[in-house]
A and B are shown apart, each in its own frame.
Chain A
Amino acid sequence: MNRLEEFKYELETCFGTSCGFCERGCPVYQTMKVKTLCMKGRNRTMLGLIQGKFEITPAVVQAAFECTLCGNCDRWCSLKNTEHTRAFREYLLRHGVEPIKEHSSIVASIKNYGNPWFQPRSARNRWTKGLDIPKATPGKQEIVFFAGCTSAVTKQLNRSLVASAKLLKKAGVEFATLGQDEPCCGSTLLRVGQSEAFKDLAAGNVKKFKSLGVKKIITACPGCYVTLKKTMEDAGAKIEVVHISKEIAKLVREGKLKLNKSTERMTYHDPCHLGRLGGVFDEPREIVRAAANFVEMPNNRYESRCCGAGAGLQSAFPKLSKDLAAKRVAEAKATGATTIVTSCPFCETQLRTVPGTKVVDLMELLLDAVEGNGRNNNSKKAP
């Protein structure tokens, strides 16, 4: 039985109910207004496909891949909709559909370079220069800071990693990094339907962290956070995976960091992987509240709207992806906030594609406040 068949009962349940609650928060449906592109329609498409009502067509593939897997539909439903969609993608690839060109490139890059962005492995070392962070060696450290491919190999995003490392040090956390040996977590493989490739990668990752004697992984990337967490849990590895906001908020709460609070009005954009899928909502808000004049967007926490970057949408459907970003930025601007704070390299990059948008990483914001720069004068401009 293929994985889609395993979900047949759930697909029939969705068909039987047909409430359509998934439509309201679905960023793709609300932009495209085509029912095949909301979860109710997608579940029906899957059901029709396994019932043999039609064959795989370009529209079927479109229904499977024009989705950010943001999980907003899961908020309103007891069915595992994002899992259905992932299974849908796998089903199509197993039934002869060729991967979307950009997704193939990502897979090839992860295989050859250990990251999705065709960057040499050595690029992972760049952000650590001058920070004097030890490299992980077997049995020498308990905590590893996991940078994640995107932030590590993208120069413009290195600052968030530097801020994370500096804050961990200020907090007295002893940690190491894997430098250029840091693997990809495989999040992207999972989202574009490459489950077999993911399984191999995940098994290697578990082995690697176990051999290093790691007890705890701290990461600043939400995609890495949920993927590594699930990888370790599924493998039964006793390695804790924590998002950096949880680690650092604790220090803010305990008053261990002295902050120069900004008066600037800022809002916080929940990355889907960190919030809805990872359950981390409060700590980032604590940090923004401590560092700036925080204002909430109407759609927040579980109801936060996706920025449009996820699950291969940004690479394969750039226009739709940008439309989604523009909607989210408009919502942020309507609050009167001048800066959007977020904690995800994908969201950060994506929201910045909207002209005139100031986006700052959560750890950068906090480090600025700790180092006394603050943002009172709004002097720091978005790149």
Chain B
Amino acid sequence: MWGQGKTSKQTKSFDVRFCGSIKLLYRHSAPKSQDMAYIDELISALGKERVLLDPSEKFVYGADWSPRTPDEFVPPDVVVLPRTTRDVQRIVKIAYNHEVPVTAGGGLTGMLGGAVPIYGGIYIDTTTMNSIVEVDQKNQTIRVQAGATLQEVNDAVQPYDLWLPHQPESKWVSTVGAAIACDNDSTFGVRYGKILSCLLSAEIVTGTGEILELGHRKAHFTSSGYKLKDLLAGSEGTIGVITEATLKLEPIPATRRIDMLVFPRMGAAVDYLSRLLKAGLCIEAAHINCKRRLKFYTHSYKQKFGKDPEIPAWAEALLAIAFAGDSEVVEAQRNYALKIAKDFEAQLVEERDIVDAWWASKYTLDFEPFKQKWPDSQKQKKFGAADPGVPVGRLEEFYHKFIQVAEKHNLEIIGMNAYLEHPNSIGFSLSCAVFVDYRNPDEVKRFREFHDELSKLAVAFEGTMSTFMSDTYQKAPYLELEHGASLKYMKDLKKLFDPKGILNPGKKFPREDGPS
């Protein structure tokens, strides 16, 4: 019977409403090794309902959005559901005392395994901490618990005519804490930057269980001290569990115009954007897609018309660009931008359905009822990407390398998207995407090799390995390539926050290299 630690298939008579107590009996009756004693302490600290131990429950928390085979789950030993920073502190202190790994996660939509608990231990589901602590309309800030989704933040501040412009495609699920820890991408980066540009202050629990506030309260910037808060962006929970954040908000623009232009070369689109910035235009969003990539974003177009959008044969790059603000300003900027476009052999995409389909995919998520692009476009193979960054003048050169590397590894190419993610500059994140037949272990292996090769190539291009997915375990073995001797200082820094190396071990540094 349940509660006696047996798993006979004949004994499944129970009342599910009393699962909590039955599960507890089951847990307590399970063989208990010495090193699992910390679980009793977690139950004492949080209550049994907020400690998940059933194999099926743990299984659910054992994978994110990264390409992996369907049987590749890495479940934690226990999942905990905290409500407050104090809860997180209790959890981390128990982990510290027992030297148990602690991995904090949000929506589990990471694309490279950042929040997957590869060494087991405790998984902290921060989504149970999603309260809005304070909306300060006058100072245009919000204080939230780290488990609030980016959409929940925007739902809370929209009545005040404010918004948080950090907007990845996963905004409905991506949490504030995860957005910071992963340093993910944003559709509006060219105007507002990414999450770090919005982050004024953050509360963390360090690897010893100490609660720290990092940042400058509601001031937009500081020249005081070291900017420890900035360490959190892309930290992957390796120096602290983010529990709360104060974020800078922006007024919601009254109007927005989105257009798409086609260019004969990717480099021409880069030159055009450079010219627009020189002209003094305030671009809200700018994304350069290669021709192949557009098809991935126009699922709703295909739904509507039963075919892919037609792009001129000569066009190699598509630039999606948005201006936002008061309508007169927007119109003036847009008109000027379109006027200049002629100097760059660009042509405006007149078919609005193409533009709308792309925008639905990138931002509004307003798909046909009962349809949306991700599962529907990924029934056979799933999306997988490398996320390097290269100098602005070498985009086109790197694009060709990406195609070569993908072909070498025999992967179906989705294409490249260069998102401008740095305020008022052409700095871009590159999403070099391929389809991965994740049911084929060999193809998953080839994808990982492709990812590594492109990451390393980006460094050789005087760029960076990662611009929106962070390092995770994937890049950990070769991080020195990017950081050289400074890697030692990074390890020492982690040790300062996490002396026993319990916070998300195996991420950024292989576990044996990090503190132990």
A: residues with CB less than 8 A from B are 9, 12-21, 23-24, 33-36, 41, 44-45, 47-49, 51, 53-63, 65-66, 74-79, 95-98, 100-101, 302, 316-317
Taking a contact as CB atoms under 8 Å apart, the answer to whether B370 and A75 are in contact is yes
Distance of A41 Cα from B105 Cα, bound (Å): 15
Distance of A95 Cα from B11 Cα, bound (Å): 10
Distance of A44 Cα from B60 Cα, bound (Å): 6
CB-CB under 8 A from B369, the residues of chain A are: 75, 302
Q: Is B64 an interface residue (CB 8 A)?
A: yes
Q: Is B2 an interface residue (CB 8 A)?
A: yes
CB-CB nearest 3 A-B residue pairs: A59-B54, A54-B55, A78-B376
Distance of A96 Cα from B12 Cα, bound (Å): 6
Taking a contact as CB atoms under 8 Å apart, the answer to whether A77 and B372 are in contact is yes
Closest to A96 in B: B12
Given contact pairs A24-B151, A58-B2, A79-B375, A18 touches B109 in the complex (Cβ within 8 A): yes
Taking a contact as CB atoms under 8 Å apart, the answer to whether A23 and B107 are in contact is yes
Distance of A54 Cα from B52 Cα, bound (Å): 15
- CB of A49 to closest CB in B, whole Å: 7
Distance of A20 Cα from B17 Cα, bound (Å): 26
Taking a contact as CB atoms under 8 Å apart, the answer to whether B107 and A59 are in contact is no
CB-CB under 8 A from A61, the residues of chain B are: 12, 14, 16, 19
**Contact partner of B60 among A16, A21, A41, A65, CB < 8 A?**
A41
Q: Which of B55, B60, B73 has the most CB of A within 10 A?
A: B60
Q: Mark B119-153, 1 if CB is under 8 A from A, else 0.
A: 00000010110100000000000000000010100
Taking a contact as CB atoms under 8 Å apart, the answer to whether A47 and B70 are in contact is yes
Distance of A20 Cα from B64 Cα, bound (Å): 10
Q: Is B32 an interface residue (CB 8 A)?
A: no
Taking a contact as CB atoms under 8 Å apart, the answer to whether A95 and B56 are in contact is no
Distance of A23 Cα from B127 Cα, bound (Å): 11
Total number of residue pairs linking A and B with CB closer than 8 Å: 161
B: residues with CB less than 8 A from A are 2, 7, 9-10, 12-19, 22-23, 26, 52, 54-57, 59-61, 63-65, 67, 70-71, 73, 81, 107-109, 125, 127-128, 130, 149, 151, 170, 172-173, 365, 367, 369-372, 374-376, 378-379, 382, 438-439
Taking a contact as CB atoms under 8 Å apart, the answer to whether B65 and A19 are in contact is yes
Taking a contact as CB atoms under 8 Å apart, the answer to whether A19 and B374 are in contact is yes
Taking a contact as CB atoms under 8 Å apart, the answer to whether A36 and B9 are in contact is no
CB-CB under 8 A from A17, the residues of chain B are: 65, 374-375, 378, 382
CB-CB under 8 A from B130, the residues of chain A are: 33
7 pairs across A/B with beta carbons < 8 Å?
A18-B65, A19-B109, A33-B81, A45-B60, A56-B9, A79-B375, A100-B15
Given contact pairs A21-B374, A45-B60, A96 touches B10 in the complex (Cβ within 8 A): yes
**Contact partner of A58 among B14, B127, B128, CB < 8 A?**
B14
Given contact pairs A13-B379, A75-B369, A101 touches B59 in the complex (Cβ within 8 A): no
